[in-house]
Chain A
Amino acid sequence: MKNRSLVSIDDFSTEEMIKILDLAEEFEKKPVRKLLEGKVIATLFFEPSTRTRLSFESAINRLGGKIVGFSDSATSSVSKGETLHDTIRMVSSYSDLIVMRHPMEGSARFASEIASVPVINAGDGANQHPTQTMLDLYSIRKTQGTLRDLNIFMVGDLKYGRTVHSLMMAMSRWNATFNFIAPEELKMPDEFKLYLENIGLKYYEHSDFTDIISKADIIYMTRVQKERFSDPIEYEKVKNVYVLRNSMLKNTKPNMRILHPLPRVNEIHIDVDSNPKAYYFEQALNGVFTRQAILCSLLGIK
């Protein structure tokens, strides 16, 4: 994987994904290693994303690498009108690898074609966020012991949520069964359902939470965002339908874990936090190990 970029989750073969997950496991056992000593990593955040940036910077720091970059385009040359093309050309001569978050879709692919160093996409608009998918896979494998034959429930905004689309596509490699729980306005788009039908995987759609979640191995929660609704009344109607409460977890499987890409608003009630099935905070920590593994793989260090 040396000198490759990671723009889209499909850039990795199944074997490469497994290799990254195995490597992330090693980093979980021993997170502090000076593998990036002498390396400079650029973190270019053209739009703010505190969580993702801190996770990357924590990963880089634990590996002994140095960071250059910016966390908001208002403080960079972009505010002077510099094109993305020129910024990337310049930064690739200052660094060994570029981590980039940008509001425009396709910006990461474009950057990877210009840069002379590997580019890691840390989110390009609503398009891709592959390191999130890798940490989701890591969390699923760690809690379930396998990625194969699992029953994955996805809840909330399944229409616009890029994390659920990428995770669904990735998990489809391991014979998953999917259950989609979403309001009419935010249902899983047809192109993804068609994809599942074409490769012969089962999926079921539901409009609300019922006892059906007793079958789940993973419940992947997402935020239902107010701004997605053209009619505010529709939002008011559904906003409390997709809230997970501790009382609803009674009949769920012992191995079941609840994941959420965070930040959450009200879709997981805080009374769930103390339930051992709540896994979203550990999930965030797994992001550091996974990103350590991805950084080292693309730099050809591991």
Chain B
Amino acid sequence: MKEPKQMSVSAIENGTVIDHVPAKNLFKVIQILGLDRIDSQITFGTNLESKKLGRKAIIKISGKFFEDADINRIALVAPEAKLNIIRGYEVVEKKLVEVPDSIVGIAKCMNPKCITNFEQVITRFRVVSKKNVALKCHYCEKITTQENLQII
């Protein structure tokens, strides 16, 4: 009998595993972290079953470790994400993401009359609420709420 063909996603030796990413936001996370522009080996799975999220995604990045400030940038789209830091095939550290106090260059201001939607301006927001994310635009001073949040 022939062995059924199987492709497994192997464990990584050194690197970072980002788990509990909402499936619908997988590509936003990839974009925010710039994973589409790095040379590391990356495997990801999406639409995996999750009790907590319904459908989740997972990303494994070989040989890559993130600064907290960088990883917290994904908090807007993956607030429940968990990071496993892997060294020598072992999980050496677990981290949760945290919504930062300010957001630079990720979100779009929802105010159609805001200058950031007309000129090349790097958007900047102060986070005025972390639970139901609300961002106050540094420029037009209007609030962008979670349901209107768009990632650039």
Those of B112-148 within 8 Å (CB) of chain A: 113-116, 118-121, 137-143
B50 within 8 A of A: no
Set of chain B residues within 8 Å of A83, measured between Cβ atoms: 119-120
Q: How far is the CB of A13 from chain B (nearest CB, A)?
A: 18
B102 within 8 A of A: no
B47 within 8 A of A: no
A8 within 8 A of B: yes
Partner of A110, one of B111, B113, B121: B121
Asked whether, in the complex, the Cβ of A106 is within 8 Å of the Cβ of B140, the reply is yes
Those of A78-93 within 8 Å (CB) of chain B: 83-85
- Which of A8, A110, A128 is packed against the most chain B CB atoms within 10 Å? A110
| Chain A residues with a Cβ closer than 8 Å to the other chain, count | 18
Asked whether, in the complex, the Cβ of A125 is within 8 Å of the Cβ of B113, the reply is yes
Partner of A106, one of B116, B120, B143: B116
Contact with B along A90-130 (1 / 0, CB 8 A): 00000000000011111101100000000000001111100
Asked whether, in the complex, the Cβ of B119 is within 8 Å of the Cβ of A110, the reply is yes
Asked whether, in the complex, the Cβ of B141 is within 8 Å of the Cβ of A110, the reply is no
Chain B contact residues: over half helix, strand or loop, or mixed?
loop
Q: How far is the CB of B114 from chain A (nearest CB, A)?
A: 5
Asked whether, in the complex, the Cβ of B119 is within 8 Å of the Cβ of A105, the reply is no
- Which of A106, A109, A127 is packed against the most chain B CB atoms within 10 Å? A106
Asked whether, in the complex, the Cβ of B111 is within 8 Å of the Cβ of A105, the reply is yes
Asked whether, in the complex, the Cβ of A105 is within 8 Å of the Cβ of B120, the reply is no
Set of chain A residues within 8 Å of B138, measured between Cβ atoms: 106, 109
Contact with B along A181-202 (1 / 0, CB 8 A): 0000000000100000000000
Those of A161-196 within 8 Å (CB) of chain B: 191
Partner of B113, one of A84, A85, A104, A191: A104
A118 vs B140: C-alpha distance in the bound complex, in angstroms?
Answer: 19
Set of chain B residues within 8 Å of A127, measured between Cβ atoms: 140-142
Knowing that A104-B118, A107-B115, A124-B115 touch, tell me 11 more A-B residue pairs with CB under 8 angstroms. A84-B119, A103-B113, A104-B114, A105-B111, A105-B114, A106-B109, A106-B140, A106-B141, A107-B139, A109-B115, A110-B115
7 pairs, CB–CB < 8 Å, chain A vs chain B:
A8-B141, A85-B119, A102-B115, A104-B115, A106-B141, A126-B113, A127-B141
Question: A residues bordering B, Cβ < 8 Å?
Answer: 8, 83-85, 102-107, 109-110, 124-128, 191
What are the 8 A-B residue pairs with the smallest beta carbon separation, nearest first?
A: A106-B139, A106-B140, A105-B140, A106-B115, A104-B115, A107-B115, A109-B139, A105-B113
